[in-house]
């Protein structure tokens, strides 16, 4: 029966990977796979286990207990993401991201490259790499008219955004998973990954700045646009500050991160309601969500968060949890460690793999495979590899996929022009991490 379980998981995973070919949203096979796997476990009375991290062994448990355990861990991540997404949408409601355009006042392609790369690196560490990419490519489209030039900038934005998301506990979904799963702590994550992530951004940008595509000036005039709302700048700084506050809240109170995110959302929402002079009614579901009308900004923002992504994470994380509960990931890790004693190679292969298949289930699987204690360098290296490895292919990260859609970037164009830059940056950052690990 375990063979059947693996077949179901592989088929579901293939359906997720081939979503564009099948023209089926990936949340559908993810949810179906989750339900079928747990149904098979329940109907066939398969034994389930919980991994004892201290003893590095499997302990028998009941299906109701283990299911509730994994659902609780998954819910922490989903509630956290819901809060972060809503804050970002509230900032956008007030057109707060228009403030960022004020930093762009040059026509030099080389300087613009560094401005966009640095902004992507910093923003992705705060609002996550996906949102940072959307914001910066939207700005890019208003700054540069020539599409061919924009493609090059978009490629480097993807690399910088993924690098920036790797070193922050709130910068990438996979890093957030490791943080909420108590595999890494904020300060240790920053200590180990800030320099490797910086190099992963700087080296490709430095190499790209010497290419012909980034020489000379842009043809169009750079215009500084003001926010449509007079509260745009205030909401931008308040929103970003509230998200940054979450790791601080967790460190001080030792409560799960989603509690701090809910407090941050409450503060941002309060100011949003005051600034919009409207009252929020959660029951008023039939109203049209017309921005800057009499409707609540919180209501409008909640209607725009990406629920398909939330449901996808629910499905894939609970599906991987099914394999973990059967002890299959634990045994697979033992076999992998026997075949490849050097875990650095395993983790770097995971990074390369994240460029081909979704890094969320890869990291979820690694969390079930390894039982190292909190802040073991292995977890930091996994965070780096999974976060930055996806830049090697346009389909390898959420940032890449959204940029592909916004700019219609061709897969093979990216493979020829950008992939080698991402690969060099990945290797340099990995080498820096291994060197720092030996020192720290």
Q: What is the mean pLDDT of residues 270-285?
A: 66
DSSP 8-class letter at 290: -
pLDDT at 293 over 50: no
Instruction: Supply the pLDDT for residue 125.
Output: 93
pLDDT at 363 over 50: yes
pLDDT at 361 over 90: no
Q: Are 119 and 270 in contact (CB under 8 A)?
A: no
Q: What share of the chain is helix, strand, coil (3-state, %, to 5)?
A: 70, 5, 25
Q: What is the mean pLDDT of residues 143-167?
A: 92
- Look at 404 and 291; give whichever has higher pLDDT: 404
Domain spans of the chain?
1-46, 47-439
> Rounded CA gap, 132 and 153, in Å?
14
Q: Are 101 and 139 in contact (CB under 8 A)?
A: yes
> Rounded CA gap, 357 and 390, in Å?
9
Going from the C-alpha of 413 to that of each of 21, 140, 206, 263, 398, the distances in angstroms are 19, 19, 20, 44, 18
Q: Are 175 and 136 in contact (CB under 8 A)?
A: no
Q: Are 115 and 106 in contact (CB under 8 A)?
A: yes
Give the confidence band of 316 by pLDDT, cuts at 50, 70, 90. Answer: confident
83-134 pLDDT, tens per residue?
A: 988 998 899 898 888 888 777 778 889 999 999 999 999 999 998 888 889 8
Whether the model pTM is above 0.85? no
Task: Name beta bridge partners: 60.
Answer: 49
Q: Are 249 and 67 in contact (CB under 8 A)?
A: no
Among residues 76, 86, 60, 93, which one has the least CA distance to residue 232?
93
Instruction: Supply the pLDDT for residue 53.
Output: 57
65 by Cβ neighbours in 10 Å (0-12 / 13-18 / 19+) ranks as exposed
From the CB of residue 212, how many other CB atoms can be counted at a distance below 10 Å? 7
Q: What is the mean pLDDT of residues 247-275?
A: 92
From the CB of residue 229, how many other CB atoms can be counted at a distance below 10 Å? 19
Q: Which residue has the tokens 């007079």?
A: 230
Going from the C-alpha of 4 to that of each of 26, 47, 217, 230, 319, the distances in angstroms are 21, 15, 59, 59, 14
> Rounded CA gap, 62 and 368, in Å?
18
Q: In the numeric block, which tokens belong to residue 115?
A: 């401005």
54 by Cβ neighbours in 10 Å (0-12 / 13-18 / 19+) ranks as exposed
Question: Which of these ranges, 44-58, 106-120, 213-227, 388-402, has the smallest mean pLDDT?
Answer: 213-227
- Range among 95-104, 289-298, 305-314 rated most confident: 305-314
398-432 pLDDT, tens per residue?
A: 888 888 888 888 888 999 999 999 999 999 999 99
Tell me if residue 20 falls in helix, strand or coil: helix
Q: Can you say how many angstroms the Cα of residue 197 is from the centroid of all Cα atoms in its chain?
A: 15
Give the confidence band of 52 by pLDDT, cuts at 50, 70, 90. Answer: low
- Look at 229 and 54; give whichever has higher pLDDT: 229
> Rounded CA gap, 428 and 207, in Å?
13
Question: Which of these ranges, 249-258, 324-333, 403-412, has the smallest mean pLDDT?
Answer: 324-333
pLDDT at 289 over 60: no
Hey, what's the torsion of the CAs at 40, 45, 46, 52, to 10 degrees? 120
Q: In the numeric block, which tokens belong to residue 44?
A: 């066939």
Q: What is the mean pLDDT of residues 233-261?
A: 92
Instruction: Supply the pLDDT for residue 295.
Output: 66
pLDDT at 339 over 80: no
Q: Are 177 and 137 in contact (CB under 8 A)?
A: no
Give the confidence band of 229 by pLDDT, cuts at 50, 70, 90. Answer: confident
| Alpha-helical segments (H) within 27-128 | 27-43, 63-93, 109-127
**In this structure, what are the phi and psi dihedrals at residue 44, rounded to the nearest 5 degrees?**
-95, 5
């Amino acid at each position: 029966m375990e063979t059947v379980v693996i077949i179901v998981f592989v088929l579901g995973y293939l359906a997720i990977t081939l979503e564009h070919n099948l023209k089926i949203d990936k949340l559908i096979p993810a949810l179906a796979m989750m339900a079928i796997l747990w149904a098979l476990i329940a109907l066939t009375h398969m034994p389930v286990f919980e991994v004892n991290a201290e003893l590095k062994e499997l302990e028998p448990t009941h299906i109701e207990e283990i299911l509730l355990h994994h659902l609780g861990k998954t819910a922490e991540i989903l509630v956290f993401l819901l809060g972060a997404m809503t804050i970002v949408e509230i900032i956008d409601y007030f057109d707060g991201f228009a403030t960022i355009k004020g930093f762009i006042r040059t026509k030099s392609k080389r300087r613009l490259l560094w401005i966009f790369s640095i902004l992507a690196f910093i923003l992705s560490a705060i609002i996550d790499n996906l949102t940072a990419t959307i914001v910066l490519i939207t700005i890019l489209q208003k700054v540069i008219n020539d599409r061919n030039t924009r493609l090059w900038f978009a490629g480097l934005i993807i690399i910088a955004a993924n690098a920036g998301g790797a070193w922050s506990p709130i910068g990438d979904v996979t890093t957030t998973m490791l943080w909420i799963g108590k595999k890494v702590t904020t300060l240790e994550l920053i200590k180990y990954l800030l320099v490797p992530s910086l190099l992963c951004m700087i080296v490709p940008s430095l190499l790209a700045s010497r290419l012909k595509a980034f020489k000379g000036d842009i043809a169009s005039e750079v215009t500084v646009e003001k926010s449509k709302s007079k509260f745009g700048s205030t909401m931008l700084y308040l929103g970003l500050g509230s998200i940054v506050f979450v790791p601080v809240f967790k460190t001080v109170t030792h409560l799960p991160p989603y509690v701090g995110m809910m407090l941050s959302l409450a503060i941002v929402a309060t100011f949003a309601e005051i600034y919009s002079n409207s009252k929020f009614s959660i029951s008023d579901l039939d109203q049209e969500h017309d921005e800057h009308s009499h409707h609540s900004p919180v209501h409008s923002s909640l209607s725009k968060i990406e629920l398909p992504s939330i449901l996808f994470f629910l499905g894939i994380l609970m599906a991987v949890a099914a394999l973990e509960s059967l002890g299959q990931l634990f045994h697979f890790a033992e076999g992998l460690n026997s075949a490849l004693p050097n875990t650095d190679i395993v983790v770097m292969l995971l990074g390369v793999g994240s460029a081909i298949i979704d890094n969320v289930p890869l990291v979820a699987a690694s969390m079930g495979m390894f039982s190292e204690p909190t802040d073991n360098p292995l977890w930091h290296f996994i965070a780096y590899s999974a976060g930055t490895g996806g830049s090697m292919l346009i389909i390898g990260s959420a940032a890449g996929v959204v940029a592909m859609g916004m700019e219609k970037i061709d897969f093979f164009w990216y493979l020829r022009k950008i992939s080698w830059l991402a690969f060099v940056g990945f290797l340099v950052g990995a080498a820096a991490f291994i060197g720092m690990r030996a020192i720290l």
